[in-house]
Amino acid sequence: MHLPAALKKIQWFNKRKVHASLSYLPVAAHSEVGILNNEHEYMKMLAIIHAQKLDSDVTLKLHQFGLYNSVTKMNASVERVVKEAKRLENFVWIDMELPETVDTTLRLFEKLHKKYGNVGICMQAYLRRTEHDIKYLVKLKVPIRLVKGFYKNHDYKTWQEVTANYKRLIKLVLLGSPRPCIATHDFHMIAEAKRLIKKHRIKRAELQFFNHVRDKLAVRLSKEGFKVRVYVPYGHLLSFLWHGRPTFDFWHGLERVFHFKVR
């Protein structure tokens, strides 16, 4: 999907009272030129969102900004994006990546949130450490997006264990974060999140989905009064999949979306 098509889809969601999160499909940047190109892309996205008055924040991954090349350059580049988003009254989600990058990601996030405030962090239920990390983050009163995870290297042997952990963490995030976001396509987890949101009357809670996966459900939930946000990525899909193939957990991804067991 190219940017114009992504913007059109965001407009479609917005007309139906569904929020969006625009993202440029991430491929690792290993040079200063690559980092600056990705930074420019996000600056362009933020400018367009502002000019067109779209109801959309943005989501980025740190390896687009040199995570595996130069943490110093990455920190500076991401900060410029967050600063520009702040100027335009927008918001930036930082997606979590491989387990070995969690500490680096959390350090940058905490610094940016303390300085600017308009940034949220994604946490992955397939890591055992996540419960401890979330308990720390809720003390800081920061926005948290809870996902199951999308990489091969995870702590739990079965996806059922990941789901059980996700269910435990839903309550922790919903009750502890000032902007709790439950991002899942699992119908049982969606039902659990809805139950808790209603029970505790959590007005700022969001239910989040991928574009094209639960579009009808997103619209229906919005009509029911829930705050819903859809992640809309654009860019070079084949390049994204090709570069990610060593680390992406494609099989569990299929199981989660289509609800069948692959192993």
Per-domain boundaries in the chain:
3-258
Closest CA to 47 of 3, 100, 14, 13: 3
pLDDT band at 153 (very low <50, low <70, confident <90, very high): low
The pLDDT of residue 44: 97
In the chain, the percentage of residues whose pLDDT exceeds 70 is 87
pLDDT band at 263 (very low <50, low <70, confident <90, very high): very low
Q: What is the DSSP letter of 62?
A: G
Residue with tokens 């100027």: 87
The pLDDT of residue 30: 81
Domain 3-258 sits in CATH at: 3.20.20.220
Mean pLDDT of the chain: 90
Indicate if the pLDDT at residue 254 is higher than 60. Answer: no
User: Could you read off the pLDDT of 78-121 as tens digits, one per residue?
Assistant: 999 999 999 999 999 999 988 899 999 999 999 999 999 999 99
User: Could you read off the pLDDT of 120-136 as tens digits, one per residue?
Assistant: 999 999 999 999 999 99
Q: Report yes or no: 19 and 227 within 8 Å, Cβ to Cβ.
A: yes
User: Could you read off the pLDDT of 35-79 as tens digits, one per residue?
Assistant: 999 999 999 999 999 999 999 999 999 999 999 888 999 999 999
The pLDDT of residue 244: 55
**92-95 and 180-183 as β-strands: parallel, antiparallel, unpaired?**
unpaired
Q: Which long-range contacts (CB under 8 A, 24 or more apart) does 26-29 make?
A: 26/60, 26/61, 26/63, 26/64, 26/240, 27/64, 27/235, 27/236, 27/239, 27/240, 27/243, 28/63, 28/64, 28/67, 28/68, 28/243, 29/63, 29/64, 29/65, 29/66, 29/69
